[in-house]
Amino acid sequence: MKELIKNRLAFGALIFIFVILAFALFAPLIAPYDPSAIDTDSILAAPSRIHILGTDPLGRDIFSRIVYGSRISLSIGFIAVGIAVLIGVIFGSIAGYYGGRVDSVMMRFVDIMLCFPTFFLILAVIAILEPSIFNIMAVIGVTSWMGVARLVRAEVLTLKERDYVAAAEVMGASDAWIIARHLIPNAIGPVLVSATLGIGGAILVESALSFLGIGVQPPTPSWGNILMDGKSTLGVAWWLTIFPGIFILLTVLAYNLLGEGLRDILEPGLKE
Amino acid sequence: MIVKLNGVKKSFPIERGYLKTASGVVNAVDGVSLEIEKAETFGLVGESGCGKTTLGKLILGILKPDAGSIEVGTKKIQVIFQDPQASLDPKMRVYDIVAEGLVLQSSAVRRGGLNLPYGKIAKGQVEEMLDLVKLPKGALNKYPHQFSGGERQRIAIARAVLTDPEFIVCDEPVSSLDVTVQLQILRLLKDVQKKFSITYLFISHDLRVVRFMSDRIAVMKEGKIVEEGPTQKIYSKPDHDYTKLLLDSILNI
Ligand SMILES: Nc1ncnc2c1ncn2[C@@H]1O[C@H](COP(=O)(O)OP(=O)(O)OP(=O)(O)O)[C@@H](O)[C@H]1O
Ligand SMILES: [Mg+2]
């Protein structure tokens, strides 16, 4: 019964993720207005038939901005996690495969990276560089690969003892071949789970950065900076903060639920 | 002579507890000398843990000896392991598994490429090999878990034989199979050996299996070879008490 509810939640999460994905892919078809079109007749309009989620101080349609903002927020989630997975998988598989001293040195480096308070590191780097979308993706990616590296290393450590690796060695396979063709494909399952969880995390980091004013810069809408825009008018126009907030919350929640669901499916041994 | 070992030794540290402190060593292979002739089947028999697999891995070059010398007179070596579940990559299709050896011989991969150069491999060659080991053509696109133990071992044999090897180390190739399937696989191994004149090092803890396969037999105990000779002689006039013990134990089953 618990199982069923959990799976239903994961399924619901998946559907929600598809909806948001559709927002991002078909933004021009779904958004009723141009996200930066200024409508001076309806400034700070409350949600109504015409503007279902209301408008902001410039009279821009909030729903349209959220729809377009999903493009930026999701891309940051995917690409930041993509970067983290790429670095983590390569790093972890090399450490695990070579073992010994190489492994110790590489994993100590991971420990050191984990000692930094990641969010402040991101803040510092973005403050020094400029807060472009690319920089934000790169910085989130470069500061969040360590978990993946540890996972992959642990998998590779056991996988490399498998007979099919020995058989490939006997047939003259290079280290790179063994890592790329045999070890990584077999180690990727748990990474998928942690990557799914990571997407939610990255979206949250972008929102926090935007909220502090060093995230994605206006006029490009991201969920974080739409929320930020509403900060000053929170008293009079709640819809400016509540709606982007709900989207962030639900999306992060959805990726977490999906991640948990995937874990149950991919690693049945880990249950309870 | 295709393989020659002289005084080969290999030991492993025994690691204990959380800190993995070495509390001694196991002499897995303890001064082994032997010679394997071309196109013969050299049987290696002994109880579990006596060092057979370690010896096989030393000959294959997967492990490096602590002492002694190993000469293998060919680069065309292959291996067939005991557990075909573990020796076939679960994420690869049968085609990729069987073709892997050939692909690894191709020049593109030798230069460091990581893509399977499918085009360069005659698909017919792989299909022919599948036919030889009596697997249906449809097997090519399936994954290892979709096969029985015996079928998986046929896949492992196909992979080994496709590269045209001169020498194959068979490490307990039938120990995980039931008796009727064992016989089929042993016959298959004999057939391909005759067809391609391959030399076998045939490792098993089962004396009956070794006897069926081997021209000569070495009996191993605690890392040492205690007796060696033609199959007939080992069975009719064993010199060593340990060999007699092994022989008695199969008679008692
Ligand atoms: N990688 C290793 N590290 C530590 N000890 C090992 C290692 N490989 C083998 N050993 C030890 O060496 C001894 C010989 O092992 P080996 O696997 O060669 O035996 P075997 O004759 O093949 O046994 P089996 O019939 O069970 O396959 C055993 O005591 C084993 O525990
Ligand atoms: Mg063994």
Residues B71 and B98 in one domain: no
Res A172 pLDDT > 90: no
Interface confidence (ipTM) of the complex: 0.86
CATH fold group of domain A2-27+61-271: MetI-like fold (1.10.3720)
Residue pairs between chains A and B whose CB atoms are closer than 8 Å: 58
In the structure encoding, which two tokens stand for residue B6, read together?
């002289």
In the structure encoding, which two tokens stand for residue B42, read together?
């050299």
**For B83-130, what is each residue's pLDDT tens digit?**
888 899 998 889 889 988 888 877 666 655 666 555 556 678 888 888
Q: Within a domain: residue B81?
A: no
B74 touching A (Cβ < 8 Å):
no
β-partners of residue B42 are B201, B216
Tell me the best of B10, B30, B52 to mutate to test the pocket of ligand 1, counting ligand atoms within 8 Å of each CB and taking the most. Answer: B52
End position of a domain, from candidates B147, B164, B181: B164
* Number of domains observed in the structure of chain B: 2
How far is the C-alpha of A8 from the C-alpha of A21, rounded, in Å?
20
Res A150 pLDDT > 90: yes
The phi, psi pair for A182, rounded to 5°, reads: -115, -45
B202 touching A (Cβ < 8 Å):
no
CA of B26 to the centre of ligand 1 (A): 9
Contact B1, B36 (CB under 8 A): yes
A171/B112 CB distance under 8 A: no
Residues B150 and B181 in one domain: no
Residues B14 and B98 in one domain: no
Q: What is chain A's mean pLDDT, rounded?
A: 87
Nearest CA among A107, A109, A105, A98 for reference residue A179: A98
Q: Within a domain: residue B108?
A: yes
Nearest CA among A245, A237, A246 for reference residue A45: A237
End position of a domain, from candidates B106, B139, B164: B164
Contact B250, B238 (CB under 8 A): no
Q: Within a domain: residue B246?
A: yes
**For B133-172, what is each residue's pLDDT tens digit?**
888 888 888 899 889 888 898 899 889 988 889 999 999 9
Q: What is chain B's mean pLDDT, rounded?
A: 85
A167 touching B (Cβ < 8 Å):
yes
Q: Would you place residue A271 in the very low, low, confident or very high pLDDT band (cuts 50, 70, 90)?
A: very low
**For B42-65, what is each residue's pLDDT tens digit?**
999 988 888 999 999 999 999 999
Question: How far is the alpha carbon of A140 from chain B, nearest alpha carbon, in Å?
Answer: 30
Q: Would you place residue A87 in the very low, low, confident or very high pLDDT band (cuts 50, 70, 90)?
A: very high
Domain limits, chain A? 2-27+61-271
B21-54 burial: b if 16+ Cβ within 10 Å, else e: eeeeebbbbbebebebeebbbbbbbbeeebbbbb
Q: Within a domain: residue B36?
A: yes
The pLDDT of residue A267 is 64
pTM equals 0.84
**DSSP run (H or E) holding B35:** strand B21-36
In the structure encoding, which two tokens stand for residue A76, read together?
């940051």
Residues B215 and B192 in one domain: yes
Give the number of other Cβ atoms within 10 Å of residue B229's Cβ. 16
End position of a domain, from candidates B164, B197, B232: B164
**For B100-111, what is each residue's pLDDT tens digit?**
888 887 766 665
The pLDDT of residue A86 is 96
CA of B40 to the centre of ligand 2 (A): 21
Pairing mode, if any, of strands B3-16 and B67-72?
A: antiparallel
Q: Which residues of A touch B163 (CB under 8 A)?
A: 171
Domain of B241? Answer: 1-76+165-253
Res A33 pLDDT > 50: yes
The pLDDT of residue A166 is 92
A166 touching B (Cβ < 8 Å):
yes
**DSSP run (H or E) holding A225:** helix A223-229
Give the number of other Cβ atoms within 10 Å of residue B245's Cβ. 12
Res A30 pLDDT > 70: yes
Q: What is the mean pLDDT of residues B60-75?
A: 89
